[in-house]
Amino acid sequence: MRLCVPVGNFFGGIPFIDGIRRIKELGFDAVETYNWKCLDLDAVRNTCEETGVELISMCTSEFRMTDVTYRQAWLDGLKESCAAANRVGAKRLITQVGQDTGEDRRIQHENIVETLKLARPILEESGVTIMLEPLNTLVDHKGYYLWSAVEGFDIVKEVDCQFVKIVYDIYHQQVSEGNIIPNIVNNLDLIAHLHSAGHPGRHELQFGESDYKVIFSAVDKAGYTGCCGLEYGPLLPPEESLIKAKEIYG
């Protein structure tokens, strides 16, 4: 497993491409970002090629799938986001499903599944994998629909497309439903990426209640070869935080 650094979480105060270079100097070879529209995509791609750093993922520009009213907007956003991913050299996009509309959850679940099925031609043409992100609703994302990774796995199975997966955020799932190791290792075929942070607080991994050494060891043993994003707000100075993360978990 490789550790992946969200550039903005640690180096949001400097130009993005300088952040990539600094992350490389610290010994990492994978980064991710969120809002691609604020980036010079060609400059980012050139910097990644120059440094040997892989841009693992970005986010889609639209996030509403629970409400069928916004289906076409989400599909249009996916198409432009896939084009941006191809341009910059990213192979994955993170998306969210939107707020709970108050409709029956089964209807909202079906809306998400149907939207993703309609996305299949876009994903196949671009070769980009879309990753659904379950988020906790107890602390950080009140009113969000998809709080359960287990339901996320069900959605991916129902869509049945190699380009539709889950980004499993260990922090969010520690808050939401626990059972972290079994839920990861028993669903590796449905997971394309991991995120991590210490809980409570969403800071360094070593400052939370989860033993990430145990989690990462189990995930490695199960055969996971992807990345885990260090998606937290550092309490330590950013460079010191990343050096320590590499020492403990790299």
Task: Tell me the domains of the chain and their CATH numbers.
Answer: 2-234 (3.20.20.150)
pTM confidence score: 0.97
- What is the C-alpha end-to-end distance of the chain, expressed in Å? 9
Q: Does residue 250 surpass a pLDDT of 90? A: no
How confident is the model over 1-52, as pLDDT tens digits? Answer: 999 999 999 999 999 999 999 999 999 999 999 999 999 999 999 999 999 9
Q: How many CB atoms lie within 10 A of CB 33?
A: 24
Q: Does residue 236 surpass a pLDDT of 90? A: yes
Helix (H) or strand (E) holding 93: strand 92-95
Closest CA to 6 of 142, 222, 167, 174: 167
**Segment 159-182 mean pLDDT:** 98
Q: What is the pLDDT of residue 85?
A: 98
Beta bridge pairs of residue 32? 6, 57
